[in-house]
Amino acid sequence: MRTLLWIIVICLSCPLAGSDGYALWLGHQLIEDSIVRQDYRAALTFIDGSTGGGEVATTATNELRRGLSELLGVQPLRGPGEAGAHGIYLGLRGRSARLDHYLATADVPDLGSEGYHLVYHDGDVLLLADDEPGLLYGAFDLLRQVQALTDLRSLNRTEQPAYAHRILNHWDNLDGTVERGYAGFSIWNWHQLPEYIDQRYVDYARANASIGINGTVVTNVNANSLIFREDYLDKAKALADIFRPYGIKLYLTARFSSPMELGGLDTADPLDPAVIAWWKEKVEEIYARIPDFGGFLVKANSEGQPGPWEYGRTHAEGANVLADALAPHGGIVVWRAFVYSDEAGRDRFREAYDEFTPLDGRFRNNVLVQIKNGPIDFQPREPVSPLFAAMPRTPLMLELQITKEYLGQGTHLVGLASMYEEVLGTDLRPTEPGGEVHQLISGIAGVSNIGTARNWTGNLFGQADWFAFGRLAWAPQTAAREIFAEWAGLTFGRDPEVIDSITQMLALSYPACVNYMTPLGLHHIMNTGHHYGPGPWIDDLGRADWNPYYYHGATRDSIGFDRTSTGSDALSQYPEGFARRYADPATTPEKFLLWFHRLPWDYELAGGNTLWRELGLRYQLGVEQVGEMADIWSGLEGRIDAERFRHVSQHLAIQQREAEWWRDACLAYFRSVSGRPLPEGVPAPPQTLEEYKALTYPYAPGIRPQW
Amino acid sequence: MRTLLWIIVICLSCPLAGSDGYALWLGHQLIEDSIVRQDYRAALTFIDGSTGGGEVATTATNELRRGLSELLGVQPLRGPGEAGAHGIYLGLRGRSARLDHYLATADVPDLGSEGYHLVYHDGDVLLLADDEPGLLYGAFDLLRQVQALTDLRSLNRTEQPAYAHRILNHWDNLDGTVERGYAGFSIWNWHQLPEYIDQRYVDYARANASIGINGTVVTNVNANSLIFREDYLDKAKALADIFRPYGIKLYLTARFSSPMELGGLDTADPLDPAVIAWWKEKVEEIYARIPDFGGFLVKANSEGQPGPWEYGRTHAEGANVLADALAPHGGIVVWRAFVYSDEAGRDRFREAYDEFTPLDGRFRNNVLVQIKNGPIDFQPREPVSPLFAAMPRTPLMLELQITKEYLGQGTHLVGLASMYEEVLGTDLRPTEPGGEVHQLISGIAGVSNIGTARNWTGNLFGQADWFAFGRLAWAPQTAAREIFAEWAGLTFGRDPEVIDSITQMLALSYPACVNYMTPLGLHHIMNTGHHYGPGPWIDDLGRADWNPYYYHGATRDSIGFDRTSTGSDALSQYPEGFARRYADPATTPEKFLLWFHRLPWDYELAGGNTLWRELGLRYQLGVEQVGEMADIWSGLEGRIDAERFRHVSQHLAIQQREAEWWRDACLAYFRSVSGRPLPEGVPAPPQTLEEYKALTYPYAPGIRPQW
């Protein structure tokens, strides 16, 4: 008894699983109810793997063992301990007698790459795949089921990822900073690689594999050619070796001018033989170290990055030289379409489409074009880019942002699964099948929100966005609410009221953010540079379309950006079946109104309010919704561990203050322009517009100091 | 039994106390031997505090309770549970019957500020102090005793810190970077203060209090006036509130030009009434938030920092205006003497002395002058600064560097207690009493090696340097070996062979580092800017004394810097009794030879080797000593937790490679200059001198990228 007591005390001294957030959604809480636990134990007494012993399959078995030890409180055996014992059989088709026995009676189709079949059969749990990564994803699925106390007897699922390419993009620089990073700094300790392998690299790979992510780009799209120097390739290899057992491929960003900067050539012209040879040789060097290297992600001729235009070549010509170097090794090029002209044109919205549609079909087979969800830049809400429906002969990657550059950065709780759901489900061809965004793409990339913060994402609830990205990259039609609930249960435990409350908070948070920042289709009105806080008044930057003002153009009479045929006609870039609805403000969904139309303040909306009145009420509603979120959270006190409870409470307090700041500063400004009084129910801003304009935050994170 | 088993399994799943290094030296291992444990429990059944309930005293009691729970496996009660029970009584003199009973028979002198008396008396452990911080330091002392399995009956100690000022200096910038930081980035999340209080701030305060540190400067000496903006003062207040219960005062660095940058004044002339008023008012603002604010640390007219010289004023005039503003509130000014002229003068060694000695006695009483241990800049070994013996009327602070800017940064294990011991024990007036450096100072500052790394210091053994700094700031005559052993026991557990091995490694590491980097008095030959790796050949920078070459001037015939009367005569800055020995190379300790003398390569040393031969052999010896350290460490496999074992092994591998790099590059260079062959026993460098010269590390940490 005494011994028991001292063990209990030690455990109470141990950091609770997950209490600092490091364990993410892999906390694997011990099943508390002893009867339930015993039932699971009896069902899962062993893990029998007939996997051929490859490293990914071994990882699958190890992760299953580790997770089940935590969930059940006992290590599963390595095979049936006694006759009649039940457990888990995992293996590749044709490699396991037990699985073949099952397959003789069940018709399990080809599971393809990374797919798996998880089923309860004759008292055992069977996990079958046609390649090793499938076993790994199946293992994590099974762990989620046990964590959620799913009845094992109900298991009968076949899962295949919707896309082959489910890739994180880190905007991490070699100096350790993270562009648009709000979770501390870069987790890649380049200086001490390849010798020093931080435990975090392994836990990173585990976390990503558990949500089906199979690739990662570890360098910033604002690229640095130094990554191709041989000592850095050795460092990259060390990372690739850690990721490989978790089914994750390493990618790097390729700076287009590398042949000059690193190679000493006097050109980077993609049609120059020396340049072609340089890339070929550099790719060989990479594959000599990393045989399954994923390929290159490239940002070219965008925001000052070098590219083929310097030589009068097209994006396709630029991409193809890299693609040809990679093709013999199975690598791909992901070429970003986030391009806008050096000089402000008619409408930035139009530019990527205008630039890339003529190139459709001109890229090599192993090139994908990566397109941000919307045509401007990751705003809280953007219409989807028309480019998704305009390059039918080119494989496309959707680029989503997980780090919340424009949605409150590190201080706001915003459940991005809601946004991702909207994007993926947007039907660009409503009059025919196959036109939803998730059907138009071959892969998804997410700009990572991961950093050196103990809890990986800085703001704890940023974990939910990372989780959601992974789950949607695998199964893009999953409902946001389902993802919220799943994440809550895995992260905070099984209490259904806790899960429900957190699901509510998350579900409320995205509409709230849009309301208190950019309601009714406002966009790009964040303060400039760091994008922290409001700045709709800013109108003095060197280029028209850098100015927040450009995106709403508010005057005494009206506000909004006309993208119809009377304006920039960006609407014409969409399929007619989609665009038709947006031509008329009366049929335009209110959430996109000011994206496409310029309207008088007195324009009457469907509900009866004027645009002016509705704008003010939406800002106020957003603030109140944050208050609701905070109320829900404080109701969870005592049911969440103290450390995470406090962390979230403190961040919600910041979010409340900042939501009010957004409301107050934006309405102080719009009021000054429109000359109209704030609607009833909207409090007067406590400071003057001049005071809001004078606020500076030179060290807002995620970008170089902004003096 | 089953229950016991599952609890054990959970514990095995918990991160072992200290296995990621976060727990530092406060891991408080449970006493394993049940009989020994029971003895301690019986002796320490309760903690009875008659402390008056102030926050520092409450912290003392809480820390004692927490630590003992971990050590004994049971929470001490809050008072005697039953008649005859024994435990701990802590309290302030005159506040506790039990302590007064003891004091009636024992003569305990005034313990002064922060002192304590810890004694075993009539079966109880008594902890007495005359102020609350004394209780806190005594509590941590008691915990160390229990951790080390000290016989409580032998307790009878009175401890008082040698100095009132035991202060960490963080060179942390407001953008999160750390100048000369190799442990990640800054732990201060300014952007989310004051609302978000990271758990790490509390653990930071605990760690520092446990080693007697009572002040911290949280901003870089290359200062930023923004810290004085009101929102930043609110952030600073939040930190001060966390530190206060741990007896730690907050300090800030003051940029001399703040009245202009922040205040909009057109001058920062310390004698200008508007400037004087500005500082007075700013100090009032600070104390309105932080009533026990420590004061300002100032770097002025040094390396581009603004200061009084711009206005034709002296350092004293500059310091005094700040001192006058702080004095009514009890604050101090710490004014750094690290000043060297804008243009290369005769010898940088001389400059701080020449600048500051005329100012002796001109500073206000609440100004301390802070002097680096040596006259150049934190080299692996420097002679102590002559300034320590030259300002008898001014209170002085010794500035030591804990972060290893010039001693291997984040990749080398170097036990700095050895260096600190040498510095503190250096007798500048050997012919009279009271001339040792530790006797000439009123406080010690340490440039912190703390960052966002999970283990706080990046390289795990950096913790030993932080620990040593604290222990020596408290008791500056403690032997380095004693500190190594104490740290090893607290950090890695009680196995005496483990403690002994680690003590050996640490003791070997500082001589090793000096040998493989800068033997025989070489100095400042690191590559420039980042100071990472060797660069003795560098001779093309804009200013003579920026060049490594300047510090050794090696030619075909000779090497070294003549600081005697035939050279720069820096030696004359020392008291004659000290300098005498260094005037003649034959009596100069070999470790300082090339600091003071220019000698022919063929100069014969005491042991019979030429200078040239000895140089080569020293570099080789250093490399071999790292190998010895690595051998000792690998012998500990299985006796150290796997994660920390691996971390240190991997870092030692880097250190081995870098020690060889130092040897090879330096000897390739010196060989090319001297024209002499390397001594037998020293391997030929594997690369050419040109190859060593061509190596670049633009992202070596701790400084802005060095392209």
Chain B CB contacts of A649 below 8 Å: none
pLDDT digits (tens, 9 = 90+) for A443-458: 999 999 999 999 999 9
Whether B536 and B552 have beta carbons less than 8 Å apart is answered as yes
> At B91, which helix (H) or strand (E)?
strand B88-92
Per annotation, catalytic residue among B303, B342, B576, B602: B303
pLDDT digits (tens, 9 = 90+) for A644-703: 999 999 999 999 999 999 999 999 999 999 999 999 999 999 999 999 999 999 999 999
Chain A CB contacts of B10 below 8 Å: 11, 30, 70, 73
What does the alpha-carbon distance between residue B337 and residue B381 come to, in Å, rounded to a whole number?
A: 19
Mean pLDDT, residues A341-366 taken together: 90
Chain A CB contacts of B647 below 8 Å: 196
Buried b (16+ CB within 10 A) or exposed e, A438-466: bbbbebbbbbbbbbbbbbbbbbbbbbbbb
Chain B CB contacts of A200 below 8 Å: 454
Chain B CB contacts of A190 below 8 Å: 699
Of B10, B697, B701, the CB nearest to A11: B10
pLDDT digits (tens, 9 = 90+) for A275-333: 999 999 999 999 999 999 999 999 999 888 999 999 999 999 999 999 999 999 999 99
Task: Please spell the DSSP secondary structure of A335-401, one letter per residue.
Answer: EE-----SS--S-HHHHHHHHHGGGTT-S-TTEEEEEESSSSS--SS-PPPGGGGS-TTS-EEEEEE
Whether A474 and A166 have beta carbons less than 8 Å apart is answered as yes
> At A46, which helix (H) or strand (E)?
none
Of B13, B14, B700, the CB nearest to A69: B13
Is residue A552 scored above 50 in pLDDT? yes
What does the alpha-carbon distance between residue A579 and residue A388 come to, in Å, rounded to a whole number?
A: 14
- The pairing of strands A598-600 and A558-560 is antiparallel
* CA distance, residue B72 to nearest chain A CA (Å): 8
Whether A58 and A522 have beta carbons less than 8 Å apart is answered as no
Of A175, A196, A697, the CB nearest to B705: A175
Instruction: Provide ipTM, 2 decimals.
Output: 0.94
- Kindly report whether the peptide bond that precedes residue A194 is cis, defined as omega within 30 degrees of 0: yes
Q: Which DSSP symbol is given to A178?
A: B
* CA distance, residue A546 to nearest chain B CA (Å): 24
Question: Residue A631: which residues within 8 A CB-CB, separation 6 or more?
Answer: none
CB within 8 Å: A4 and B3: yes
Give the per-residue pLDDT at B82.
85
* CA distance, residue B238 to nearest chain A CA (Å): 13
Per annotation, catalytic residue among A100, A241, A377, A643: A377
Give the per-residue pLDDT at B304.
87
What does the alpha-carbon distance between residue A612 and residue A555 come to, in Å, rounded to a whole number?
A: 12
Look up tokens 């680690």; give the residue. Answer: B502
Three-class SS state of B168 = strand
Mean pLDDT, residues A379-404 taken together: 98
Handedness of CA B563, B565, B568, B569 (dihedral sign): positive
Q: Which of B13, B71, B707 is the mutation pick for testing A, counting most A CBs within 10 A?
A: B13
Chain A CB contacts of B235 below 8 Å: none
Cβ count within 10 A of residue A156: 12
Average pLDDT by consecutive 10-residue portion of chain B (707 residues)? 36 50 93 95 92 88 96 92 91 91 94 97 96 97 95 97 98 97 98 97 98 98 97 98 98 97 97 98 98 97 91 96 98 93 80 95 98 97 98 98 98 98 97 96 98 97 98 98 97 95 98 98 97 98 92 98 96 96 97 98 97 98 98 96 96 98 98 97 98 97 83
Structure tokens that stand for B633 in this block = 């460490």
Q: What is the dihedral of CA B298, B303, B308, B313, to 10 degrees?
A: 130
Chain B CB contacts of A647 below 8 Å: 196
Give the per-residue pLDDT at B571.
97
Of A7, A13, A654, the CB nearest to B196: A654
CB within 8 Å: B191 and A74: no
Buried b (16+ CB within 10 A) or exposed e, B523-560: bbbbbbbbbbbbbbbbeeeeeebbbbbbbbbbeeebbb
Residue with the bigger pLDDT between A12 and A110: it is: A110
Beta bridge partners of A447: A169, A401
Task: Please spell the DSSP secondary structure of B595-614, one letter per residue.
Answer: HH-EEETTPBPTTS-BHHHH
Cβ count within 10 A of residue B435: 18
Question: Nearest-CA neighbor of B171 among B183, B158, B163?
Answer: B183
CB within 8 Å: B14 and A14: yes
Assign A82 a pLDDT band (cuts: 50, 70, 90): confident
Of B191, B654, B699, the CB nearest to A174: B699
Report the first-to-last Cα separation within chain A, whole angstroms.
64
Give the per-residue pLDDT at B15.
37
Of A9, A199, A657, the CB nearest to B74: A9
Give the per-residue pLDDT at A17.
44
Give the per-residue pLDDT at B340.
77
Q: Tell me which long-range contacts B575-580 makes (C-beta under 8 A, separation of at least 24).
A: B575/B386, B575/B389, B575/B428, B575/B429, B575/B435, B577/B429, B577/B430, B577/B431, B577/B432, B578/B389, B578/B427, B578/B428, B578/B429, B578/B430, B578/B435
Report the first-to-last Cα separation within chain B, whole angstroms.
64
CB within 8 Å: A9 and B73: yes
- Kindly report whether the peptide bond that precedes residue B291 is cis, defined as omega within 30 degrees of 0: no
Mean pLDDT, residues A466-488 taken together: 98
What does the alpha-carbon distance between residue B263 and residue B265 come to, in Å, rounded to a whole number?
A: 5
CB within 8 Å: A643 and B175: no
Mean pLDDT, residues A615-636 taken together: 98
CB within 8 Å: B199 and A20: yes
Biggest CA–CA distance in chain B, Å, is: 83
CB within 8 Å: A196 and B6: no
The Cβ-side half-sphere exposure at A608, using a 13 Å CA radius, reads: 0
Mean pLDDT score across all residues of chain A: 94
Question: Nearest-CA neighbor of B223 among B289, B268, B285?
Answer: B268
Chain A CB contacts of B5 below 8 Å: 73-74
Q: Note if A82 is an active site residue.
A: no
The Cβ-side half-sphere exposure at B154, using a 13 Å CA radius, reads: 6
Q: Note if B405 is an active site residue.
A: yes
Closest residue in B to A643 (Cα–Cα)? B199
Question: Nearest-CA neighbor of B375 among B170, B568, B531?
Answer: B568
Closest residue in B to A705 (Cα–Cα)? B175
Chain A CB contacts of B176 below 8 Å: 184-185, 699, 701
Per annotation, catalytic residue among A63, A131, A405, A427: A405
Of A30, A70, A191, the CB nearest to B701: A191
| Contacts across the A-B interface (CB distance below 8 Å) | 132
What does the alpha-carbon distance between residue A244 and residue A206 come to, in Å, rounded to a whole number?
A: 11
* CA distance, residue A416 to nearest chain B CA (Å): 21
Give the per-residue pLDDT at B469.
98
Closest residue in A to B643 (Cα–Cα)? A199
Of B226, B647, B699, the CB nearest to A175: B699
Q: Note if A303 is an active site residue.
A: yes
Q: Which of A1, A8, A13, A704 is the mutation pick for testing B, counting most B CBs within 10 A?
A: A13
* CA distance, residue A334 to nearest chain B CA (Å): 27
Q: Which of B143, B202, B699 is the mutation pick for testing A, counting most A CBs within 10 A?
A: B699
Q: What's the order of all strands across the beta sheet hosting B47-50?
A: B47-50, B88-92, B124-129, B116-121, B156-159
Q: Is the pTM of this model over 0.90?
A: yes
Whether A128 and A108 have beta carbons less than 8 Å apart is answered as yes
Look up tokens 């970008």; give the residue. Answer: A703
Of B10, B199, B697, the CB nearest to A30: B10
Question: Residue A368: which residues within 8 A CB-CB, separation 6 or more?
Answer: A165, A332, A333, A334, A335, A394, A395, A396, A397, A442, A443
CB within 8 Å: A197 and B650: yes
pLDDT digits (tens, 9 = 90+) for A409-440: 999 999 999 999 999 999 999 999 999 999 99
Domains and CATH numbers, chain A: 2-159 (3.30.379.10), 165-478 (3.20.20.80), 517-561+598-694 (3.90.1330.10)
Give the per-residue pLDDT at A6.
34
Q: Which of B8, B28, B175 is the mutation pick for testing A, counting most A CBs within 10 A?
A: B175
CB within 8 Å: A15 and B15: yes
What does the alpha-carbon distance between residue A611 and residue A581 come to, in Å, rounded to a whole number?
A: 19
Biggest CA–CA distance in chain A, Å, is: 84
3-state helix, strand, coil in chain B (%, to 5): 45, 10, 45
Question: Residue B557: which residues within 8 A CB-CB, separation 6 or more?
Answer: B600, B601
CB within 8 Å: B73 and A5: yes
What does the alpha-carbon distance between residue A523 and residue A382 come to, in Å, rounded to a whole number?
A: 8
Question: Residue B674: which residues within 8 A CB-CB, separation 6 or more?
Answer: B554, B556, B559, B601, B612
Chain A CB contacts of B143 below 8 Å: none
